[in-house]
Amino acid sequence: MGCPPGTTAPSERLTIVTSTQSPERRRTTPTRPGDRIFRGTSLAAALLILATLAGVAVFLTAEGIPGILASPDEVKHGTGFVDYVAPLVFGTLLAAILALTMAVPLAIGVALFISHYAPRKLAAPLGYVIDLLAAVPSVVYGVWGISFLAPALVPLYRWLEDNLGFVPLFAGPASATGRTILTASIVLAVMVLPVITAICREIFLQTPRLHEEAALALGATRWEMARLAIFPYARSGIISASMLGLGRALGETMAVAMVLSASGVVTFNLISSTNPSTIAANIALTFNEATGLTVNALIASGLVLFVITFGVNFAARAIVDRRKDFSGAN
Amino acid sequence: MAKSIDVSDLDIYYGDFLAVEGVTIPIAARSVTAFIGPSGCGKSTFLRSLNRMHEVIRGARVDGKVLIDGQDLYADDMDPVNVRRLIGMVFQRPNPFPTMSIAENVLAGQRLNSKRMKKKEADDIVERSLRSAGLWNEVKDRLDRPGSGLSGGQQQRLCIARAIATQPEVLLMDEPCSALDPISTSIIEDLIHELKTDYTIVIVTHNMQQAARVSDTTAFFNLAGVGQPGRLIEHGDTSMMFSNPEDPATEAYIQGRFG
């Protein structure tokens, strides 16, 4: 069906005319080669992603099941799988949620500053710096966290223990090294900040001028304009950005493994020297010495992380979809 | 409510560029004033300078005076935010907030002005504003649905309802019908007639018949050439402007010989 653009080959015209008689042929509207090639490549790309994901899932499941079913005396940690993985799941979620709690408001603020408040001369360089933060390897964040941030936070932890010790989160005793779950979360927050900021900034910049002017004309201040026009418009984007950040925080390995002094407990005490570990950090720290079914158990913990990430993404999608009518896309 | 506007010798700049030069015009309270003129002649810019909305563009500034019942809009202690709460605006393209329901849209300005409102009070404002905008009967059963689900003409009336919900002194309309079909246009023109008993209305339009139909006073803007500032050529009673304008350029424009 290769005919020059703007014309229709006679045979194709015939197809359209006769299509009323044969429903099977109704779909054969003329397609151009360019369209078919593009459709083919994009379909292939989509399928490749699905295949990769399926491959990872199959590997994790196949290798992980023996680890899940292993009896306590067959693995190095000496407990059932659920008892083994539960504290890790707890630590992973705690660290990631703490990181997001710190990073998301800050990222939104920074993005809003860059997109709507900063003078143009400042906005562009600031944007570059934020993007640059995203390119720093996580091991560098790990080194920074362990050699600078952790010692620097020790006095703060002491202060928190002394003054806010009645809050379970700061019960203490304060860690002397500062290598706590809170420190790890702060490092994670710094790491996810650029991703969330960059996406939020792009979305804020796309806020239709019409809506901004509608808010301003009603007598909105700049901040009220952000609340009336920018945030509602950017809502689903902010959630998506946070989920990307959460994905990175959940899966981050190196920085957490380096910073966190983990002992695999379940506690909400954020500043003590006994901290829950995370799945990813635990795999990184124990995989080298692991043998036999212990390896399978580690892979199974990876499967758990995979499922958590999946669940988080589905939840985010559901949140975005729930108010679809009001998204402004219609 | 409804105040007169007095503009004297107003120059509007964007950076170093003089966009509108030397406008002097009185605008009577409770009347409709139409600004007509070719594209780029500065009538929209001038309209936006009446509620300081042109300031959203960087580098915008004015010389001269705009008085609303004697109060200078550009006085040093005048906050543009307060000016805009006093002077409502309706834009060329309907712009209800897409993430808000119809009722929330109407109340948007109200919520900025006074944070706390009883439910009854809010419902009253919604009904009163939507009735004034001639939209109540069409939307009263779906006040909690998104405003973006309405037709273009309904959306524009929703925007009018939103603008008058705060009972501003003046209502500015920047080509409010140019994106609408003739039926919606006619509904909005009728609405302008009704609203002028309560509000001072200033409307920019490209549609000469519309200016003739809705306005009491017409002002004609023109520019001498590309890169030249726009000027107010003449203003006066609409019937006089359309039957017997003083300036030949006005006559030529009204008769469709240019622009």
**CB contact burial A52-87 (16+ within 10 A = b; e otherwise):** eeeeeeeebeebbebbbebeeeebebeebbeebbeb
Per-residue pLDDT at B174 exceeds 70 = yes
- The closest of B98, B136, A221 to B125, measured between CA atoms, is B136
Q: Are A297 and A75 in contact (CB under 8 A)?
A: yes
Quote the pLDDT of residue A328.
54
Rounded to 10 deg, the angle between the B152-165 and B119-132 helix axes is 130
Quote the pLDDT of residue A83.
84
- Whether residue A211 and residue B93 make contact (CB cut-off 8 A), yes or no, is no
- Whether residue B99 and residue A221 make contact (CB cut-off 8 A), yes or no, is no
CA B7 to chain centre: 16
DSSP letter for A89, please.
H
Residues of chain B with pLDDT > 70: what percent?
Answer: 98
Say if residue B12 is exposed, middle or buried (CB neighbours under 10 Å; 0-12, 13-18, 19+).
Answer: buried
Q: Which residues of A touch B83 (CB under 8 A)?
A: 219
Helix (H, G, I), strand (E, B) or coil at A257: helix
Residues of B with a Cβ under 8 Å from any A Cβ are: 51, 53, 56, 58, 81-86, 88-89, 91, 93, 95-101, 108-109, 112-113, 145-146, 148-149, 159, 162-163, 166
- Whether residue B95 and residue A221 make contact (CB cut-off 8 A), yes or no, is no
More confident residue, A75 or B32: B32
Among the partner-chain residues A211, A221, A330, the one whose CB lies closest to the CB of B95 is A211
Among the partner-chain residues B56, B98, B112, the one whose CB lies closest to the CB of A213 is B56
Quote the pLDDT of residue A106.
94
10-residue mean pLDDT series, chain A (330 residues): 42 45 61 90 95 93 86 73 87 92 94 89 88 87 91 87 81 80 91 91 89 90 89 87 88 85 79 84 86 85 91 82 61
Q: Which residues of B touch A328 (CB under 8 A)?
A: 98-99, 148
- Whether residue B145 and residue A325 make contact (CB cut-off 8 A), yes or no, is yes
- Whether residue B162 and residue A330 make contact (CB cut-off 8 A), yes or no, is no
- Whether residue A211 and residue B159 make contact (CB cut-off 8 A), yes or no, is no
**CB contact burial B40-72 (16+ within 10 A = b; e otherwise):** ebbbbbbbbbbbbbbbeeeebebebebbbeeee
- Residues sharing a CB contact under 8 Å with residue A241, sequence separation 6 or more, in sequence order: A107, A195, A196, A199, A200, A203
- Whether residue A218 and residue B166 make contact (CB cut-off 8 A), yes or no, is yes
Quote the pLDDT of residue A73.
73
Domain locations in chain A as residue ranges: 76-326
Q: Which residues of A touch B114 (CB under 8 A)?
A: none
Per-residue pLDDT at B112 exceeds 60 = yes
CATH 3.40.50.720 fits A76-326, yes or no: no
Q: Give the chain B residue nearest A119 (alpha carbons).
A: B58
- Confidence label for B127 from pLDDT (cuts 50, 70 and 90): very high
Asked if A116 has any chain B CB less than 8 Å from its own CB, the reply is no
In whole angstroms, what is the distance from residue A325 CA to residue A329 CA? 8
- Residues sharing a CB contact under 8 Å with residue A224, sequence separation 6 or more, in sequence order: A215, B112
pLDDT in tens, B51-90: 899 888 888 889 888 998 888 888 888 888 888 888 999 9
- Whether residue A214 and residue B84 make contact (CB cut-off 8 A), yes or no, is no
Q: Range with the lowest mean pLDDT among A3-12, B14-23, B117-126, B208-217?
A: A3-12
3-state secondary structure chain B: CCCCEEEEEEEEEECCEEEEEEEEEEECCCCEEEEECCCCCCHHHHHHHCCCHHHHCCCEEEEEEEEECCEECCCCCCCHHHHHHHEEEECCCCCCCCCCEHHHHHHHHHHHHCCCCCHHHHHHHHHHHHHHCCCHHHHHHHCCCEHHHCCHHHHHHHHHHHHHHCCCCEEEEECCCCCCCHHHHHHHHHHHHHHCCCCEEEEECCCHHHHHHHCCEEEEEEECCCCCCEEEEEEEEHHHHHHCCCCHHHHHHHCCCCC
Among the partner-chain residues B51, B97, B146, the one whose CB lies closest to the CB of A217 is B51
Computed over its alpha carbons, how large is the radius of gyration of chain A? 26
- Whether residue A217 and residue B84 make contact (CB cut-off 8 A), yes or no, is yes
Give me the interface pTM, i.e. the ipTM: 0.88
Which of B99, B102, B107, B151 to mutate to test binding with chain A, by most A CBs within 10 Å of its CB? Answer: B99
Among the partner-chain residues B89, B145, B148, the one whose CB lies closest to the CB of A217 is B89
Domains (range + CATH), chain B: 5-254 (3.40.50.300)
What are the tokens at A228?
Answer: 């009336």
Q: Where are the alpha helices (DSSP H) in chain A?
A: 10-18, 33-69, 81-112, 120-135, 138-144, 150-164, 181-205, 209-217, 222-225, 231-251, 254-259, 279-286, 293-322
Q: Which residues of A touch B112 (CB under 8 A)?
A: 218-220, 224, 228
Which of A212, A218, A230, A239 to mutate to test binding with chain B, by most B CBs within 10 Å of its CB? Answer: A218
- Whether residue A217 and residue B91 make contact (CB cut-off 8 A), yes or no, is yes
State chain A's maximal CA–CA distance in angstroms: 87
Q: Which residues 117-176 in chain A show a CB within 8 A of chain B?
A: 120
Quote the pLDDT of residue A232.
86
Quote the pLDDT of residue A325.
61
- Whether residue A213 and residue B101 make contact (CB cut-off 8 A), yes or no, is no
Q: Which residues of A touch B145 (CB under 8 A)?
A: 325
In whole angstroms, what is the distance from residue B29 CA to residue B26 CA? 10
Mean pLDDT taken over chain B: 88
Which of A120, A239, A326, A327 to mutate to test binding with chain B, by most B CBs within 10 Å of its CB? Answer: A326
- Whether residue B112 and residue A220 make contact (CB cut-off 8 A), yes or no, is yes
- Whether residue A213 and residue B100 make contact (CB cut-off 8 A), yes or no, is no
